[in-house]
Amino acid sequence: MNSSPKLRPGLWDALVVLVVAALAVGCAWTVWGGQDRGTELTAVVSVDGVETERLPLREAAGTERTIQAGGYTLRLRLTETEVWVESADCPTQDCVHTGHISRGGQSIVCLPARVIIQLEGGEGVDTGVDAVIG
C-alpha cells in the first residue's frame, strides 16, 4: 500500500500567493484609488459641441451667466456647490426642469439651444459602471 505524500506549502506556493496578492492590490488601486476625486468642481459650458466656458464653482459662486445660442437665451445660476438654469426661453424648458446639479458627471442639456452644462471634478465623481448583467 502506497502512503499518500505529505502536502506542505513550498517556496513556489508562497511566490504564487505574493503575485496574486500584488495583482489584487494593483487592480483595486486602479478601480477605486486611481481616480482624482479631490479636484475642484467645475462647470463646463458647451455650445454646438464646442467648449465655450470653464467655470470653477468656487470662483463663480453667487454669479449668474447668460448664454445665448441657437436663438435662445438661458440664465445660468452658480453657487459654490450647485449649478442650474434659472430661466430659458426655449419651448420645452427641459433645461429648467432638470433642476440643480451638484456632482461631477451630471449635466444639463438644452436641445433647442444646443447647450450642454456639465460638471467635472469634485468629490462625487462617479465614472464607474453601475452594473453588468449578462
How confident is the model over 88-125, as pLDDT tens digits? 999 989 999 999 999 989 999 999 999 999 999 876 44
> Minimal CA–CA distance to 77: which of 98, 52, 48?
98
Q: Tell me if 55 is assigned to some domain.
A: yes
User: What is the total count of domains within the chain?
Assistant: 1
Q: pTM of this prediction?
A: 0.63
Split at pLDDT 50, 70, 90, the class of 37 is low
Q: What angle do CA 109, 111, 113 make, to 5 degrees?
A: 100
Q: Tell me if 54 is assigned to some domain.
A: yes
What pLDDT is stored for residue 129 in this prediction? Answer: 62
Domain holding 50, by residue range, is 42-120
Q: Tell me if 114 is assigned to some domain.
A: yes
CATH number reported for the structural domain that contains residue 107 in this entry:
2.60.320.10
What pLDDT is stored for residue 115 in this prediction? Answer: 94
The CA–CA distances, whole Å, from 106 to 10, 18, 54, 65 equal 52, 40, 15, 19
